[in-house]
Amino acid sequence: MNNDILKSIKKIHFIGIGGSGMCPLANILHNKGYIISGSDNYMSDTLERIIDRGFDVHIGHDEKNIGDAELVVYSAAIKQENPEILAAKKLNVPIMERSDLLGLVCSQYKNLVAIAGTHGKTTTTAMLTQILAVGGANPTAVIGGKLPFIGGNSRIGNSQNIVCEACEYVDTFLKLTPNIAVILNVEADHLDYFKNLEGVVNSFKKFACKATELVVLNGDDKNSVEATKNANVPVITFGLGENNNYRAEKIVEKYGIYEEFTVVKDGKYLGTFSLKVPGKYNLYNAMAAIAVADYMKIDIEKIKEAISEFSGVHRRFEILSKKNGITIADDFAHHPTEIENTLNAAKKMGYNRVICIFQPHTYSRTSLFLNDFARALSIADIAIVSEILAVREVNTYNIYATDLVEKIDGGVYRKTFEDIVNYIEEIAKPGDLILTMGGGNVYECANMLTKETV
């Protein structure tokens, strides 16, 4: 694909335009003067927002949708048999995968901060975006979830700063050449592609070596440290351990919220901060964002202000409703570590019971991490498991949701969201937290529960 293609075209069609990785790119290019069209399978809040901006969006996929597009972009979820891809090939219209387009868009900015890690990418990208915006750095941003502060998952800035989430799956993040590469943590995941932890670490090593100015990493995470040993640029670390360049200490935690913590930079006091989002993992996310923002010379008082006001991201421990004494929340966690971290935070927040509704995401992940999922979900007082969401897979693993439920303390299997809602209505009591978790469409179950009188 010609790297200069964006200089010679004006009309771009996005297949799957409502996706969290697609919509920000469509918004950025629309702002640069490109004529954007797109298609998706169903209407969503994201689609409604971009339709309001004047985008030509079609519900459903049809060869006619590409019109007179000069470039067709597709997300990783789109199969090559898609009628719009086939039409583009027939008409000799250039086709590009989303990650390639992201690389081209980011290359147009002088200062790219790319945030990678097995967990925390979206939240940290959102945190840093909010800090840079409050601090006057006026960034463009590509975020994998909706940030209330900006009312969406992208921001159009007028500076040379761009912040983007850098996903490791199928080595997508290697399409980027970041000035600042951030590595939050490195764990075994996406083993359908990487095969084992060594494969994951090796991919992150390549990502770290692509940084042209600085690598920022979690110094408490041994795999992140390993992944950055051969970095070609200076490395700074963040965390709780004494050897980190940016270290949190004097931590005051109440009901899972870090109400106060001091940050020391190379042994010297930098400032005292507060968070309103729960969980130790968010303390680490905040430390990463603080380290990058300080390196970018954002005023420390502005960093404090932005961090203290950060209220989270869509589908990251997002409180949806509180009624009849029952709280309903939703979270994107779909890896055992994410589930463990989120449930441990929830258990500290003063609820009588934490009732988790979990939708397993892919057969491969469920099979490979079966015991880890069971251990993490057993933290909840009650864990309700739905059918496994296949996504792109067929069940060659001979794995079923009931296999997981059998291993969970307090595990319950209910096949459909309707079955789950009915069960919740039977058991829910005032003081309960009902938390839906998963990388698929389990949020629909949460939405159903918010409409019911549980």
Exactly one of 46, 118, 122, 366 is catalytic; which is it? Answer: 122
pLDDT (tens digit per residue) in 250-277: 999 988 889 999 999 999 999 999 999 9
| Range scoring the smallest mean pLDDT among 132-136, 186-190, 227-231, 379-383 | 186-190
127 pLDDT higher than 90: yes
167 pLDDT higher than 80: yes
* C-alpha distance from residue 454 to each of 258, 323, 434 (Å): 31, 8, 10
CB 382 within 8 A of CB 390: no
Rounded Cα distance, 423 and 310, in Å? 34
Exactly one of 46, 125, 165, 175 is catalytic; which is it? Answer: 165
The predicted pLDDT at position 2 comes to 61
Instruction: Count Cα neighbours of 25 within 13 Å in the Cβ-side half-sphere.
Output: 32
Active site annotation includes 90 = no
* C-alpha distance from residue 376 to each of 227, 340, 401 (Å): 26, 5, 15
Rounded Cα distance, 24 and 2, in Å? 22
Q: What average pLDDT score do residues 153-163 get?
A: 95
The predicted pLDDT at position 145 comes to 85
In terms of pTM, does the model score above 0.85?
yes
Active site annotation includes 165 = yes
410 pLDDT higher than 70: yes
Exactly one of 46, 84, 118, 121 is catalytic; which is it? Answer: 121
